[in-house]
């Protein structure tokens, strides 16, 4: 059963056929998927979802396919970790970490959007898929396209982390490092997409792709016992993830799937060197000013965010706010999450943790209400960002004496992490 009706312009509302289209011919607004919610309402329930597969496909009634999925069978359904030790450190009552650092198969939430985009690409008849990426999308399209049997062209800025390059190349894509930043890569890809009949997951398939991010929000609500949290902090690059988490809560609310009244406040986390959305929010500006990104959080290094205005609206409509954090705060955020909860996140996750800490200390997030942090990627991919900041192992000789002198006699103390 498919509930995918059409595509619709987010600005003027004009409808378009459900093809690989992404801009409105009349007003240049971006297109969004339009569902038949009345029909969905008749079949969906908490029970029907709970009976589904332990993957993001348990929400397939709210995803933009006409038939069965053909990619990303094991993606999503990541843990929602009750983060009691971190809660104590941050002095808040009820804290959870949505841990997409362990999403299958490439350890970031991008596996969600790619599962949906590649399934739709197959339905639309593409044999080649492509993307413009800040790193994690490159990994995910490379891996998922290998599994699903697509030819694959991947475009990245030349200065990505080594692990993100290796973890793309290993899946044998045509990997193209462009001598420019993400915004330049993206512009080039728009030209290529106009000329070659490829499914660019975040360009001509963007309307479908973006819907995959909703599953992060659906899971949070389901895992909280069909409740939306009071507060949610998520990182932003293009701003798409934030808009879709909000859309997920709204859809669950509209379909009567939530136990509580939806009043989630959404907060945007961005790094100092690339914070166009957060800056506009904090300065109460109408205009989002593009920037030239310069940050260790390379997965968030988008200076001209495609969904910036929509993200800003969501944050402001929800009553949330934003925080901007420095590279040092990002490193501290990564280490704090690891030391307290045993979760090693990448730089984007460090941005989220550091931003949450700031928002709590500023009194913008109250200490006695439920809070979820969206941890979107894995720390093993961005080791160079913190290798200088984590210290070094003890060096000893292979004998007891050396161990006792060097290790047990050391002043270094174990941090207290007894649960
Ligand atoms: C892509 C990415 C984001 C940001 O996603 P947008 O939808 O572009 O805002 C956040 N975290 C990680 C780890 C990412 O790879
Ligand atoms: Zn339009």
* DSSP states of 219-250: HHHHHTTS---SEEEEE-SSSHHHHHHHHHHH
How far does the centroid of ligand 2 lie from the alpha carbon of residue 202, in Å? 19
Q: Which residue has the tokens 């490092």?
A: 177
Please compute the mean of the pLDDT values over residues 264-285 and round it to a whole number.
98
Is pTM beyond 0.85? Reply is yes
For 148-181, how does the pLDDT look when each residue is reduced to its tens digit (9 = 90+)? Answer: 999 999 999 999 999 999 999 999 999 999 999 9
Statement: residue 414 has pLDDT above 70: no
> Which atom of ligand 1 is nearest the CA belonging to 137?
15
Q: Please give the distance, rounded to the nearest whole angstrom, from the Cα atom of residue 399 to the centre of ligand 1.
A: 47
CB 242 within 8 A of CB 234: yes
Give the alpha-carbon dihedral of 10, 16, 18, 20, to 10 degrees.
Answer: -80
Contact by Cβ (8 Å): 303, 290: yes
Binding pocket residue ranges, ligand 1, CB within 6 Å = 108, 110, 134, 136, 235-241, 299-300, 346, 348, 376-377
pLDDT score of 409: 86
Nearest atom of ligand 1 to the alpha carbon of 237 = 9
Find the 230 Cα to ligand 1 centroid distance in Å: 22
What is the C-alpha to C-alpha distance for residues 165 and 157, in angstroms, rounded to an integer? 10
Q: Is the pLDDT of residue 418 over 80?
A: no
- Dihedral (C-alpha) 225, 228, 233, 239: value to the nearest 10 degrees? 120
pLDDT of residue 410: 79
DSSP H helices, 319-397, are 327-341, 347-361
> Which pLDDT value is given to residue 1?
75
- Using CA positions, which residue lies closest to atom 8 of ligand 1? 238
Mean pLDDT of 330-341: 98
Alpha-carbon span 379 to 344, nearest angstrom: 5
Cβ-count burial 39-72 (b if 16+ within 10 Å, e if not): ebeeebebeebeeeeebbbbbbbbbbbeeebbbb
The kind and range of the H/E element at 97 are strand 94-99
Ligand 1: atom nearest CA of 108 is 13
Euclidean distance between CA atoms 382 and 387, whole angstroms? 9
Q: What is the mean pLDDT of residues 324-348?
A: 98
Contact status, residue 155 vs residue 133, Cβ threshold 8 Å = yes
For ligand 1, atom 14, the nearest C-alpha belongs to: 299
* Short-list 302, 286, 247, CA closest to 63: 247
Q: Which ligand is nearest to the CA of 160?
A: 1
Which residue's entry shows tokens 């597969």? 53
Pick among 3.40.50.300, 2.20.28.160, 3.40.30.10, 3.40.50.1100: CATH of 80-107+212-385: 3.40.50.1100
Burial of residue 33 (number of CB atoms within 10 Å: 0-12, 13-18, 19+): buried
Question: pLDDT tens digits, residue range 104-160?
Answer: 999 999 999 999 999 999 999 999 999 999 999 999 999 999 999 999 999 999 999
- Give the chain's mean pLDDT: 97
Atom of ligand 1 nearest to the CA of 213: 7
């Amino acid at each position: 059963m498919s509930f995918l009706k059409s595509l619709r312009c987010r600005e003027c509302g004009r409808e378009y056929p459900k093809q690989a289209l992404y801009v409105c011919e009349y007003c240049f607004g971006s297109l969004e998927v339009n569902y038949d919610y009345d029909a969905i309402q008749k079949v969906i329930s908490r029970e029907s979802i709970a009976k589904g597969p332990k993957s993001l496909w348990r929400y397939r009634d709210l995803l933009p396919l006409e038939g069965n999925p053909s990619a990303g069978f094991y993606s999503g359904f990541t843990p929602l970790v009750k983060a009691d030790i971190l809660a104590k450190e941050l002095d808040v009552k009820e804290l959870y970490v949505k841990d997409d650092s362990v999403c299958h198969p490439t350890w970031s939430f991008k596996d969600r959007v790619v599962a949906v985009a590649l399934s739709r690409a197959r339905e639309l008849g593409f044999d080649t898929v492509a993307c413009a990426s800040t790193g994690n999308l490159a990994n995910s399209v490379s891996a998922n396209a290998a599994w699903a049997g697509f030819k694959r062209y991947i475009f990245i800025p030349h200065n990505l982390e080594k692990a993100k390059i290796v973890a793309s190349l290993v899946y044998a894509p045509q990997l193209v490092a462009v001598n420019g930043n993400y915004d330049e890569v993206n512009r080039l890809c728009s030209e290529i997409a106009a000329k070659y009949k490829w499914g660019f997951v975040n360009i001509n398939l963007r309307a479908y792709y973006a819907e995959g991010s909703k599953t992060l929000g659906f899971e949070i609500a389901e895992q909280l016992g069909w409740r939306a949290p009071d507060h949610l902090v998520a990182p932003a690059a293009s701003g798409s993830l934030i808009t879709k988490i909000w859309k997920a809560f709204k859809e669950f609310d509209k379909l009567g799937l939530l136990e509580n009244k939806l009043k989630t406040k959404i907060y945007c986390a961005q790094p100092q060197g690339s914070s166009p959305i957060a800056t506009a929010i904090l300065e109460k500006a109408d205009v989002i000013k593009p920037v030239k990104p310069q940050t260790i959080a390379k997965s968030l290094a988008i200076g001209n965010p495609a969904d910036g205005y929509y993200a800003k609206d969501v944050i402001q409509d929800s009553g949330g706010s934003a925080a901007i954090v420095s590279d040092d705060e990002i490193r501290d955020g990564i280490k704090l999450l690891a030391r307290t909860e045993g979760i090693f996140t990448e730089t984007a996750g460090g941005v989220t943790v550091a931003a949450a800490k700031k928002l709590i200390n500023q009194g913008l997030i109250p200490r006695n209400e439920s809070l979820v942090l969206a941890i979107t990627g894995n720390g093993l991919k961005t080791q160079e960002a913190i290798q200088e900041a984590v210290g070094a192992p003890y060096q000893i000789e292979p004998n007891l004496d050396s161990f006792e002198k060097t290790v047990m006699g050391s002043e270094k103390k174990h941090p207290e992490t007894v649960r």
